[in-house]
């Protein structure tokens, strides 16, 4: 696989990216809402802390300082010296409040408190340096008492503004919500535009290549098997499907050339079966169904159908091998039935029951699918109501028996006799029945091939007998 192919994104990966974008958008919206709630909670907690701290400070500061300075000035026995520690503590508290305050008026008030505390500290030192009682008393009344009153007043002012903002925060919250809503709306708009363009690009990268692939299939159905460049697509499944169609067309062209040169009966029968795999009606209907699923936004169902169609073509080619394992043959017919079940879900069901121990057995490729197709179009579709196709396999002696049974319309005795005679004589009847029978007999001998049984109104059973060998044993034979 080349580098370009490795870099091609699958449809599933593209859808995971879209899902991731939606998840990111949801996370961003949730984060924005949580952020708003957290900011509101933090703001209220901060305001409550500031109000509580300021209230406790204001209740005792003035009375405490005034009393201690009075004792100091009159040299009372209760004097503890200058209350410098209390003033410094007040300065520290004011600085802390200033660092957590955001409102302009509150900051002006607490800044004034801090300045007044620093001035008060200076005045305390001046009183300490003043020798006379009268002079000290004058400074106490004119400086200390005035400053403590102002500190108390400005602290009350601070409390007023903070409490007011705490009691009526709705206006600011409303502004914050509007601002954050605008930001979120812009982010959502940008993401929506990007997401819309991405989805449009993804849709075009699927529908346009599918349309080109349909045109190419129509050309193939008209006999144009010349080499063409595969349809270019950003989606890996479409690229694989297109490459599979081109490889199949190229292989058909080679097989036609070899058939003209060698007149090999076995190759001619295989070619007929391969051509049936690109039945234009089957491909048209499948492509139309994929397109419908995409337009109906059933992207996962479209991905699965493209994957089934890719598996169907890949196993049809099987790297040019005539013999494949029974496991691959079962996968091939299963992919075909899955595609058809989407189209005929109201009338068709199916069951595959082949033991795992037979999965490595060798079987001519394109053995089961023509039988299943015959059961669908000649049995199930002709029946009124729901029908079922059963695919079974088992070992019997040294052979393997594969059986395809439907409970469809069945075949009349006269028509059944015609079919049995035609199959034995190698005449072309049904949907590849004689071709399958002829190939098996050419590969394994007259003992092997298919048999058909049917009852009108009950259903039809086609049984294939092949030798029980592995691929290695078949090559050696």
Closest CA to 83 of 63, 113, 58: 63
In degrees, to the nearest 5, what angle opens at C-alpha 471 toward C-alphas 465 and 477? 80
The predicted structure's pLDDT at residue 173: 62
Q: Which residues contact residue 316 at a Cβ distance below 8 angstroms, ignoring those fewer than 6 apart?
A: 248, 274, 277, 332, 365, 366
Q: Which residues contact residue 238 at a Cβ distance below 8 angstroms, ignoring those fewer than 6 apart?
A: 205, 206, 209, 210, 213, 231, 306
Q: Summarize pLDDT for 71-122 with one digit per residue, the tens.
A: 888 888 888 888 888 888 888 888 888 888 888 888 898 899 889 989 988 9
Q: Report the distance separating Cα 99 and Cα 115, nearest Å.
A: 15
**Would 306 be classed as within a structural domain?**
no
* CB-based contact 313:241 (threshold 8 Å): yes
The predicted structure's pLDDT at residue 419: 87
The predicted structure's pLDDT at residue 357: 94
* CB-based contact 164:104 (threshold 8 Å): no
Centre a 10 Å sphere on the Cβ of residue 58 and count the other Cβ atoms it contains. Answer: 18
Of 138, 168, 198, the domain-final residue: 168
Closest CA to 442 of 233, 262, 180, 265: 265
CA quadruple 406, 448, 432, 364: dihedral positive or negative?
Answer: positive
Alpha helix (H) ranges present in 344-404?
368-375
**Would 472 be classed as within a structural domain?**
yes
Residue 324 backbone dihedrals phi, psi, to 5 degrees: -130, 175
In degrees, to the nearest 5, what angle opens at C-alpha 304 toward C-alphas 298 and 310? 135
DSSP-assigned letter for residue 361: B
CATH of the domain at 462: 3.30.565.10
Provide the whole-model pTM: 0.44
Q: Report the distance separating Cα 224 and Cα 143, nearest Å.
A: 110
**Would 291 be classed as within a structural domain?**
no
The predicted structure's pLDDT at residue 466: 94
Of 126, 149, 168, the domain-final residue: 168
Q: Which residues contact residue 293 at a Cβ distance below 8 angstroms, ignoring those fewer than 6 apart?
A: 299, 301, 302, 305
* CB-based contact 354:389 (threshold 8 Å): no
Determine whether 155 is exposed, middle or buried from the number of CB atoms within 10 Å of its CB (0-12, 13-18, 19+).
buried
Residue range(s) defining the domain that contains residue 409: 347-477
Q: Report the distance separating Cα 243 and Cα 382, nearest Å.
A: 35
The predicted structure's pLDDT at residue 475: 60
**Domain total of the chain:** 2
Which two three-digit tokens encode residue 130?
A: 């003043």
Centre a 10 Å sphere on the Cβ of residue 195 and count the other Cβ atoms it contains. Answer: 16
Count of residues for the chain?
477
**Would 304 be classed as within a structural domain?**
no
CATH of the domain at 158: 1.20.120
The predicted structure's pLDDT at residue 356: 92
**Would 202 be classed as within a structural domain?**
no
Of 119, 135, 168, the domain-final residue: 168
* CB-based contact 234:205 (threshold 8 Å): yes
Closest CA to 302 of 30, 15, 94, 81: 15
Q: Report the distance separating Cα 131 and Cα 125, nearest Å.
A: 12
The predicted structure's pLDDT at residue 1: 41
**One-character DSSP codes across 59-120:** HHHHHHHHHHHHHHHTT-TT--S--HHHHHHHHHHHHHHHHH---HHHHHHHHHHHHHHHHH
Closest CA to 328 of 343, 338, 317, 339: 317
Which two three-digit tokens encode residue 287?
A: 């492509």
Centre a 10 Å sphere on the Cβ of residue 416 and count the other Cβ atoms it contains. Answer: 17
Residues of the chain falling short of pLDDT 50: 1-8, 262-263, 271, 274-275, 278, 431
**Would 327 be classed as within a structural domain?**
no
Q: Report the distance separating Cα 367 and Cα 430, nearest Å.
A: 14
To which H or E segment does residue 324 belong? strand 323-325
């Amino acid at each position: 696989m080349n580098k370009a192919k490795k870099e091609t994104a699958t449809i599933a990966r593209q859808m995971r990216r879209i899902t991731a974008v939606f998840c990111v958008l949801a996370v961003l919206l949730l984060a924005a809402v949580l952020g708003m709630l957290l900011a509101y909670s933090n703001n209220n907690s901060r305001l409550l802390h500031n109000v509580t701290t300021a209230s406790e400070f204001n209740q005792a500061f003035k009375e405490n300082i005034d009393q201690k300075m009075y004792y100091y000035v009159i040299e009372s026995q209760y004097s503890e010296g200058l209350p410098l520690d209390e003033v410094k503590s007040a300065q520290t508290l004011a600085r802390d409040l200033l660092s957590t305050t955001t409102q302009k008026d509150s900051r002006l008030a607490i800044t004034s408190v801090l300045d007044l505390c620093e001035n008060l500290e200076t005045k305390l030192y001046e009183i300490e340096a003043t020798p006379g009682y009268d002079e000290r008393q004058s400074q106490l009344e004119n400086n200390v008492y005035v400053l403590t009153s102002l500190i108390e007043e400005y602290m009350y002012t601070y409390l007023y503004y903070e409490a007011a903002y705490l009691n009526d925060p709705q206006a600011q919250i409303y502004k914050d919500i509007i601002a954050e809503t605008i930001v979120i709306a812009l982010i959502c708009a940008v993401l929506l535009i990007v997401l819309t363009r991405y989805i449009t690009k993804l849709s075009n990268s699927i529908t346009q290549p599918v349309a080109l692939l349909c045109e190419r299939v129509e050309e193939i159905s008209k006999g144009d098997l010349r080499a063409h460049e595969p349809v270019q697509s950003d989606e890996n499944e479409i690229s694989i499907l297109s490459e599979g169609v081109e490889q199949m067309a190229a292989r058909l062209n080679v097989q036609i050339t070899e058939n003209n040169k060698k007149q090999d009966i076995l190759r001619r029968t295989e070619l007929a079966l391969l051509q049936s795999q690109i039945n234009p009606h089957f491909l048209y209907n499948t492509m139309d169904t994929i397109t419908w699923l995409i337009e109906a936004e059933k992207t996962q169902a479209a991905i699965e159908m493209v994957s089934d169609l890719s598996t169907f073509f890949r196993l049809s080619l099987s790297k040019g091998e005539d013999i494949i394992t029974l496991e691959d043959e079962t996968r091939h017919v299963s992919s075909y039935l899955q595609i058809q079940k989407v189209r005929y879900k109201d009338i068709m069901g199916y069951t595959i029951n082949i033991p795992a121990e037979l999965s490595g057995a060798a079987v001519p490729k394109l053995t089961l699918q023509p039988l299943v197709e015959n059961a669908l179009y000649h049995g199930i579709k002709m029946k009124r109501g729901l029908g079922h196709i059963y695919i079974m396999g088992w070992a019997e002696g040294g052979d393997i028996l594969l059986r395809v049974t439907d409970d469809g319309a069945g075949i009349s005795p006269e028509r059944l006799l015609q079919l049995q005679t035609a199959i034995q004589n190698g005449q072309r009847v049904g949907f590849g029945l004689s071709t399958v029978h002829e190939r098996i007999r050419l590969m394994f001998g007259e003992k092997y091939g298919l048999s058909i049984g049917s009852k009108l109104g009950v259903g039809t059973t086609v049984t294939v007998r092949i030798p029980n060998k592995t691929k290695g044993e078949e090559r050696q034979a």
